[in-house]
Amino acid sequence: MKNITVLAIPKLIIASLILSILLTWPINAQSISLSKQEESPLLVMLHFDDGYQGIYTNAFPLMEKYGYVGTMFLPTNLIDRPKHMTLDQIKLMKDAGWEIGSHSRTHPDLRKLDQATLYDEVVGSRNVLIGDGLLTLDNAFFCSPMTVWDQYVALLVSQNYKAARAKELIIFDSPIQPEQHVQVVLKDTLIVDIKHWIKQARADNSWLILVFHEIAEGGNEYFCPPDQFEQILHLLQESNVKVTTIEKAITEWENFTSQSSLNDK
- Residues lying near Zn ion in the complex (CB under 5 A): 49-50
Of residues 49 and 121, the one with the C-beta less far from Zn ion: 49
| CA angle at 95 for the pair 94 and 97, rounded to the nearest 5° | 65
Of residues 51 and 124, the one with the C-beta less far from Zn ion: 51
* Concatenated DSSP letters of 20-85: HHHHHTT-BGGGS--HHHHHSPEEEEEEEES-BHHIIIIIHHHHHHHT---EEEE-GGGTTSTTB-
> Shortest gap between Cβ of 51 and Zn ion (angstroms)?
9
Of residues 86 and 147, the one with the C-beta less far from Zn ion: 147
Identify which of 143, 256, 262 has the alpha carbon closest to the alpha carbon of residue 206: 256
Ranked by CB distance to Zn ion, the top (closest) residue is: 49
Of residues 49 and 214, the one with the C-beta less far from Zn ion: 49
> Shortest gap between Cβ of 8 and Zn ion (angstroms)?
30
Of residues 187 and 234, the one with the C-beta less far from Zn ion: 187
246 vs 260: CA distance, rounded Å: 20
> Shortest gap between Cβ of 96 and Zn ion (angstroms)?
22
164 vs 127: CA distance, rounded Å: 16
* Concatenated DSSP letters of 122-142: IIIHHHHHHHTTS--GGG-EE
> H or E segment at 223?
strand 223-224
> Shortest gap between Cβ of 137 and Zn ion (angstroms)?
23
Reported residue count of the chain is 265
Cβ atoms of 128 and 101 closer than 8 Å: no
239 vs 217: CA distance, rounded Å: 26
> Shortest gap between Cβ of 170 and Zn ion (angstroms)?
17
> Shortest gap between Cβ of 110 and Zn ion (angstroms)?
11
Of residues 69 and 110, the one with the C-beta less far from Zn ion: 110
106 vs 208: CA distance, rounded Å: 27
> Shortest gap between Cβ of 104 and Zn ion (angstroms)?
8
Of residues 42 and 101, the one with the C-beta less far from Zn ion: 101
